Amino acid sequence: MSVEKNTHEAKRWLRTAQGDLEAAKILMGNGKYAHACFHSQQAGEKAIKAVWYFLDADPWGHSITKLIQELESVDIKTHEKFGQLKRSAIVLDRFYIPTRYPNGLPDLTPDDSFIEEDAKTGIENAEILIGTAISLIG
C-alpha cells in the first residue's frame, strides 16, 4: 500500500479506537464496569492495530502485549516506543475474556467481578495507547 493509503487506514482504526474509548466512558458512567473494561481493551487493541497498518503491516490476534512485542519484526523504533507501554498492554489484555463471559471467572458473572476502579484503570491505559498511536500517526 502507499503511504497515503496506510495513513488513511491507520486513521480509520484510530477513530474506531477513540469511539470504543468514548463508549467505555459512557458505560462506566452508567455503572457498567465490565463492559467499560472490555471497550477499553478494544480501544487499546485498535490503537495498536492502527500503528501496524500505518507501518504497512498486517496485525493478527487480540493480545495488545503480543501485538506490541511483534512490532519488533516490523519497525524497531516503533517497537521501542510502544515497548515502554507494556504495563498498559498487560492491564488491558486482562479485560479481554473475563469481562464478557460468565465462565471467565469461577462462579461469578462479569458484572459481579468488575468495579469502577477497574473501569477507570482500563480507560486510563487505553488513553495512553491511543495518545501514543496518535503521536506516531498524526
- pLDDT 10s digits, 76-120: 888 888 889 999 999 999 999 999 999 988 899 999 999 999 999
* Mean pLDDT across the chain: 95
d(CA 59, CA 34): 26
Chain-centre distance of CA 63, in angstroms? Answer: 9
Instruction: Return the HEC string of 42-54.
Output: HHHHHHHHHHHHH
**CATH code assigned at 61:** 1.20.120.330
Q: Cell numbers of 90, please?
A: 498487560
| Whether the Cβ atoms of residue 67 and residue 58 lie closer than 8 Å to each other | no
d(CA 69, CA 99): 24
Res 13: pLDDT: 98
Q: Which amino acid is present at 108? A: L
Domain with 90, as residue range(s), is 3-137
pLDDT tens for residues 25-36? 999 999 999 999
How many independent structural domains does the chain possess? 1
